[in-house]
C-alpha cells in the first residue's frame, strides 16, 4: 500500500530497495530535499531518520493536493471530486481507469497518515522549478534525491507555450535536456549530497560516467500491446552519486 493519497506516475516506492544501499551515511545529513518530488517516495522512506523534509514540484495541481491533504483527508476527498480536478488527478496518476485513480484517493491508511503527520511536523512543500529549490535549501547537511523525468521522454505534459498559426492551435514541447547538464554541473560543484536515479541509455551513461555507483533493471507492471501481442516493458536505471 502506498504512502501517498493516490497513484502517481513515476512513483519510486517499489524501486527504493534497489538504491537505498547507496544513500549517504545517515550521520552525515539531517534534511531530505526532493526537487522533483512527485509522491515523495524517498522522503517517506527516510521520514523517521531526518529532521526536515522539503518537497518541491513544478506541477501545481500536485502541490495543491499536498496542501489540501495536510489540512485533512476529508478536505482532500472533497476537492478531488470536483470534475475538473478529478480529470487532472486521473492524468497525473497514470492509472488506467478513472475509477481506479479515484478509488485510491478515497481511502486513508496508516502509511498515508504517517507521511501526512511527518509533513505537518517537519515538512516544507514548494511549487516551482527544481533549481530554485536547490538554491534555496541546499547545504552540507542536505541529502538531495533527484528523480527528473526520463532523459528520452518528450514530456508532452510539460508544454511551454501555446499559440495559433492560421487558426491552428500549436504547442511547443519543452527541451528537457538542459536539466541533465545542470545536474552534471551540480554533481561537480555542490556541497550537498546528491543522488540521481535515471534511465540508462548511451547518453546518460556517458555524461555521468564519473559518478555512476550502480544500476538496476525494472519490469513494469503495466502491459503494452505491440502488433496484437502483450508485453511488459523493461528498462535499466543507473544510480549516480557525488559523495
Ligand X SMILES: C[S@@+](CC[C@H](N)C(=O)[O-])C[C@H]1O[C@@H](n2cnc3c(N)ncnc32)[C@H](O)[C@@H]1O
Residues of this chain that bind ligand X (CB under 6 A) = 8, 10-12, 35-36, 38-39, 41, 57-59, 129-130, 147-149
CB of 36 to ligand X, least distance (A): 3
The smaller minimum CB distance to ligand X, of residues 74 and 155, is found at 155
The smaller minimum CB distance to ligand X, of residues 20 and 78, is found at 20
CB of 212 to ligand X, least distance (A): 19
- Residue corresponding to grid cell 504512502: 3
Give Cα separations from 43 to 46, 149, 170, 204, 207 (angstroms).
5, 18, 38, 25, 27
Which residue is closest to ligand X by CB? 38
CB of 42 to ligand X, least distance (A): 7
Whether the CB-CB separation of 54 and 126 falls below 8 Å is answered with: yes
The 3-state DSSP class for residue 25 equals: coil
The smaller minimum CB distance to ligand X, of residues 162 and 164, is found at 162
CB of 148 to ligand X, least distance (A): 6
The smaller minimum CB distance to ligand X, of residues 225 and 233, is found at 233
CB of 155 to ligand X, least distance (A): 7
CA distance linking residue 115 with residue 3, whole number of Å:
6
The smaller minimum CB distance to ligand X, of residues 129 and 215, is found at 129
Query: Which burial class, exposed, middle or buried, applies to 162 when counting CB atoms under 10 A from its CB (0-12, 13-18, 19+)?
Result: exposed
CA distance linking residue 144 with residue 31, whole number of Å:
8
The smaller minimum CB distance to ligand X, of residues 5 and 148, is found at 148
Name which of 18, 19, 46 is nearest 32 in CA terms.
46
CB of 27 to ligand X, least distance (A): 24
Whether the CB-CB separation of 147 and 38 falls below 8 Å is answered with: yes
CA distance linking residue 87 with residue 93, whole number of Å:
10
Amino acid at each position: 500500500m502506498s504512502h501517498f493519497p493516490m497513484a502517481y506516475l513515476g512513483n519510486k516506492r517499489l524501486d527504493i530497495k534497489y538504491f537505498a544501499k547507496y544513500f549517504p551515511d545517515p550521520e552525515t545529513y539531517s534534511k531530505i530535499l526532493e526537487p522533483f518530488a512527485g509522491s515523495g517516495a524517498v522522503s517517506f522512506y527516510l521520514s523517521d531518520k531526518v529532521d526536515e523534509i522539503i518537497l518541491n514540484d513544478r506541477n501545481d495541481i500536485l502541490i495543491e493536493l499536498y496542501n489540501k491533504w495536510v489540512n485533512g483527508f476529508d478536505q482532500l476527498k472533497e476537492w478531488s471530486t470536483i470534475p475538473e480536478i478529478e480529470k487532472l488527478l486521473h492524468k497525473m496518476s497514470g492509472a488506467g481507469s478513472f475509477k481506479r485513480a479515484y478509488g485510491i484517493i478515497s481511502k486513508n491508511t496508516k502509511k498515508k497518515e504517517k507521511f501526512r503527520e511527518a509533513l505537518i511536523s517537519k515538512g516544507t512543500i514548494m511549487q516551482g522549478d527544481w533549481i530554485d529549490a536547490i538554491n534555496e535549501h541546499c547545504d552540507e547537511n542536505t541529502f538531495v534525491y533527484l528523480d527528473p523525468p526520463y532523459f528520452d521522454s518528450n514530456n508532452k505534459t510539460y508544454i511551454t507555450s501555446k499559440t495559433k498559426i492560421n487558426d491552428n492551435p500549436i504547442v511547443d514541447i519543452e527541451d528537457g535536456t538542459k536539466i541533465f547538464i545542470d545536474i552534471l554541473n551540480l554533481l561537480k560543484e555542490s556541497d550537498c549530497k546528491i543522488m540521481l536515479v535515471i534511465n540508462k541509455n548511451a547518453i546518460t551513461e556517458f555524461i555521468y560516467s564519473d559518478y555512476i555507483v550502480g544500476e538496476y533493471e525494472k519490469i513494469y507492471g503495466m502491459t503494452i500491446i505491440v502488433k496484437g501481442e502483450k508485453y511488459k516493458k523493461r528498462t535499466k536505471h543507473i544510480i549516480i552519486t557525488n559523495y
